[in-house]
Structure 1
Amino acid sequence: MHSSQFKSRSLTQRLAIALAAGGLLFLLCLCLIFWLGWQGLHSQTQDRLQQAVQKLDLVFDHAHQVAIAVEPLLTDSCGEQELRLRKIVASTPDVRSVSIEHNGTMLCSSVYGHREQLVNMQPYAEGQLSLQANNLLSPDQSVLIYRRNVGEYSVLVGINGHDLSYVLGLLGGIRLQVGGLTLDAEERIRKAGGWVEGQRLSVASTRYAYRVNDIINAAIFRTYMLEHALLEGTLALVLSVFFGVACFRRTKSGLHHELNRALDAGEFVAYLQPMMNREGTQVTGCEVLVRWMHPELGLIRPDRFIPLAEDSGLIVPMTRELMRQVREAMGPRAAALPPHFHFSFNIAASHCHDLSLIEDCRSFLAAFSANPVNLVLELTERELIVPDETTIQLFDELDRMGVSVAIDDFGTGHSSLVYLQQFKVDFLKIDQSFVARIGSDALSRHIVDNVVDLASRLDLSLVAEGVETPEQAEYLMARGVDFQQGYLYGCPVPLADFWLEAKLP
């Protein structure tokens, strides 16, 4: 598997994990919101039904009070009863009429007075309530009759269906059920069971023979959720996004752990790229680069993992490991190296947080005591090195040890000029992007010429990176560039192959 796949796979995995985590949380939040919404709607509906029972019980309490008030009049003549009946009805809320019935015959009514007539004895729920679309007293309106039996007599109290429907309408689409009939908020009487699909909720009165019903279905639930759960859904989405971002960042720490594992396993190996003299005839040094020999992904280039190593601080032990590998492989053969051979290592801002780099450099130089070499530290552009007290002490001590400092990729960023002002610099490395356009881009040639002029004025040595054609090499040679590096002279190779590839004795 190519190294380019590492970065894309790592990023893809992190994105997949983040999306899956955020999506799962959002799904769980939605499930919780829907469950709470359903419970809330259920509870709200139950509360409305309880309120309906309380209000309707109060209406039937008035009817019950009328029936009790009429009991003493049962044996009186209708002439004596009629006025009393009308007064009782007029002084009692919610009651439309009251009648006295004896053995199926109406004897007296608050509406018609004395009028002996057979009463339509429709079934009464538990002998107490009867819901009727019309009756003798209210032929064009629905009515609910409350019946109270007293021996051979019955007191029939009429309650206007319109008033009951009004109460039901105040509390939503609730239906009043008496026996096998129901009354809705539009004063329609239907057979019980004629409902639209949904979950039916019902609360029965404990004092009177009726119950109130309602339903919950998808349409009602959708409306309820839009009214009550829109904010919660938005918060769930925001929370899920933040959680996904947190997971994305957290998985980055997982990659840091993978780098740490690889460092412990010795999977980071040194590759050396030769650096030629001005004429391009002799190898005078090399730049030490790092490659990751991943057990599954194979060889991984540094641009795929170096930024992560710098973010995690693992770049410091990684550089220390490269120095160890180079000094152990090349130190024993130091005498065979050309005089003042250059070894260049890249360092980042993390190396400047403490003074451990001094000891690393001292150990490296000590390995070449038989033929002293030039150790060069290249300052990279990825993260600005701040010249604080520790950094100043670090570079002063490195200078006393004879360690040289180079500015890598000179001319590509603001940091290059800042480093020139803040640190004692020995080398400038012309970025390969300028070298690559020599012969094809006038602006790049001018930049190279200006860098050469600047180095000459500041008495700094020059290294050109990315030299790939004889034309580029001749141009740089003509302008006095001290060292050249690029695929024209050799690509980075493992330590074991460098001696042969560089044609060293």
Structure 2
Amino acid sequence: MKKNFLYIKNFHLSVVGFFLFFLSFLTFNYVTYFNNLVINRMTSVVNVIDNKLDNYHSTIDDLFNKNISDCSKSMIFFRKLRVSNPDIQSINIIKDDAIVCSSYPYIIGYKNRIENDTNIDLLMSDFLVPNKFILIIKKTKNKYSIVISVRDLTFTNLVKLSEGDLNFNINTDKFRVNSNGVDISNKTPDSILVHSDLYPFSISTNIPIYVYTKNFLQDKLEVLIVILFFMIVYLAFYFKFRNCINTTFLMENGLLNNEFIPFAQPIVNEKGIISGFEILIRWKRNNNIIYPSDFISIAEKNGMIIPITLSLFKSVYEMCVEYDSLIPKNTHLSINICPDHLSNSNSEGLIKVCKLFSVFNNINLVLEVTEGQVIEFDGIVEAVDTLKGYGVKFAMDDFGTGFSTIENIKKLKADIIKIDKQFIDLIKDEKSETAFVDNIIDLSKRLGVSIIAEGVETKEQEKYLLENNVEYLQGYLYSKPIPLNNLLDSYY
């Protein structure tokens, strides 16, 4: 059983590990996929800007092919260019580090602010759009330089259209500007950059976790639903059987530590004299007593009921050996078993422990077959006959509940019927509904089997049962279940 428990535990760990691995794998692949998607969008922005810059450089080349020394003629051409290219903010001709011609005549004569030969740069405007960035495209030929300034919105709007729920930024050697045209050069550098191969600028961004999460949930919703479904099914399975798994482990330790101990409740005859007792198992764990209702059903499901019951038989046998000389003759000793104990695969162990009791001349061993399981008679007939050969008697426990039938009594060759407490509780006064109890009593007489009434708690119940010739009584009216060694000390 311990191996089975470990297999189950390892299975759960494997399932959890698989889901974690699969989710991690899916997350990693999606992060990579989404990063590539963003990079492709940024690359598209870079390509569009490159094309625009190429066009501006072509415009400057066209200007150099004209007579730029004549400012009046150049200004006419400047105006036509600005009409056809509304993105262009100004066109300037520079000579000897001064503006000698411009589409804005009032800046003619001003000193040139572009101090290097960079063919593209971001500058803060002083005249045209104060405190706003403008893109500068510069080209020099002979003694002249032509400088075109482009509105920041030309590029920031392009970036804004492509960034979606991210923040794309434009970078040069000197500045970093966001899609609103705000200088963010003092901010922490972005982690993802796409550089232009033609011009000294790049587009950059950071991808926050919430963006990954949002897009992951949108793009992989179907996959997540499938994963969630299987997780719910698995968790339902796990929580349903968790107590069973944990209890199995505790039961195995309990067997090793002899935590399952025999209690006993006296059985009296019609004269009120103790004629025997029923063994009732208790689980003593950490000085606390756990009752059968809290673990027997689990033990029947996980198979622990077999080794636990056999362990109980051995404990009872050892105590009977100790008190053998004090126990009266014909003492009735009953122990509960489930039908599985009589199956071909389990009967050998049961027969072995029951055979031990054959050495006692003063004890009549009775096996009370519980009614919580269907009895498969094809597999137990041989075991029943063998046990009968050792003088073991059989009782149908809790008759009237579970799967008990008259046919079971016959096939099991039962010697005793036990009336369950729930029917004894119906005996309260003369008007009580006792028809079912009466039928069981009548049935026992017809079948020639003895009868024991369980759960007798009042004198009224005792009186009614004795008047109806019930031979044996058991219940709190006589004694609560107490440890077997205490009962033997008290009565013998």
TM-score tier (shorter) = 0.7 to 0.9
Comparing both chains, which one has the higher relative contact order based on Cα–Cα distances under 8 Å and sequence gaps of 6 or more? 1
> Which residue in 2 is equivalent to 1:424?
413
Of 373-382 and 64-73, the range deviating more from structure 2 = 64-73
Instruction: From 149, 158, 162, give the equivalent of 1:167.
Output: 158
Mapped partners of 1:499, 1:220: distance in 2: 75
> Which residue in 1 is equivalent to 2:287?
297
Counterpart mapping for 1:417-496 below 5 A? 419-420=408-409, 423-439=412-428, 444-496=433-485
Mapped partners of 2:89, 2:337: distance in 1: 98
Mapped partners of 1:443, 1:290: distance in 2: 33
Identity of aligned residues (%): 26
Mapped partners of 1:497, 1:79: distance in 2: 125
Matched to 2:144, the amino acid is Y
Is the 8 Å Cα contact of residues 133 and 143 (structure 1) preserved in structure 2?
A: yes
> Which residue in 2 is equivalent to 1:398?
387
> Which residue in 2 is equivalent to 1:310?
300
Is the 8 Å Cα contact of residues 100 and 156 (structure 1) preserved in structure 2?
A: yes
Deviations 1:180-236, CA, capped at 9 Å, x for gaps: 666654xx54444487x9978665545434343545568767755765687788757
> Which residue in 2 is equivalent to 1:56?
49
Mapped partners of 1:453, 1:253: distance in 2: 44
Evaluate the alpha carbon distance shift between residue 334 and residue 28 of structure 1 in structure 2; reply closer, same or farther with a 3 A threshold: same
Residue 261 of structure 2 is aligned to residue 269 of structure 1: yes
Mapped partners of 2:20, 2:469: distance in 1: 66
Mapped partners of 1:290, 1:191: distance in 2: 81
Of 400-409 and 46-55, the range deviating more from structure 2 = 46-55
Deviations 1:300-342, CA, capped at 9 Å, x for gaps: 4333333343333232233323333333443576676555432
Instruction: From 85, 92, 95, give the equivalent of 1:102.
Output: 95
> Which residue in 1 is equivalent to 2:4?
none
Deviations 1:47-81, CA, capped at 9 Å, x for gaps: 54444333322322332344345445467767997
Of 343-352 and 476-485, the range deviating more from structure 2 = 343-352
* TM score, norm. by length of structure 1: 0.73
Residue 316 of structure 2 is aligned to residue 322 of structure 1: no
Q: Which runs of 5+ in 2 are unaligned?
A: 1-14
Is the 8 Å Cα contact of residues 342 and 350 (structure 2) preserved in structure 1?
A: no
> Which residue in 2 is equivalent to 1:345?
335
Is the 8 Å Cα contact of residues 66 and 92 (structure 1) preserved in structure 2?
A: no
Deviations 1:98-129, CA, capped at 9 Å, x for gaps: 654433566677x79x9994367344676433
RMSD: 4.9
Counterpart mapping for 1:86-485 below 5 A? 100-104=93-97, 117-118=108-109, 121-123=112-114, 127-131=118-122, 144-159=135-150, 161-172=152-163, 173-177=167-171, 185=179, 189-193=181-185, 205=196, 207-214=198-205, 227=218, 235=227, 239=231, 242=234, 246=238, 249=241, 252-277=244-269, 279-294=270-285, 296-330=286-320, 337-353=327-343, 354=345, 355-357=347-349, 359-360=351-352, 362-368=354-360, 370-371=361-362, 373-387=363-377, 389-416=378-405, 419-420=408-409, 423-439=412-428, 444-485=433-474
C-alpha deviation, 1:444, in angstroms: 4.7
* TM score, norm. by length of structure 2: 0.74
Mapped partners of 1:306, 1:138: distance in 2: 86
Is the 8 Å Cα contact of residues 364 and 393 (structure 2) preserved in structure 1?
A: yes
* Aligned pairs, number: 471
SS, match of residue 286 in structure 1: strand
Is the 8 Å Cα contact of residues 52 and 171 (structure 1) preserved in structure 2?
A: yes
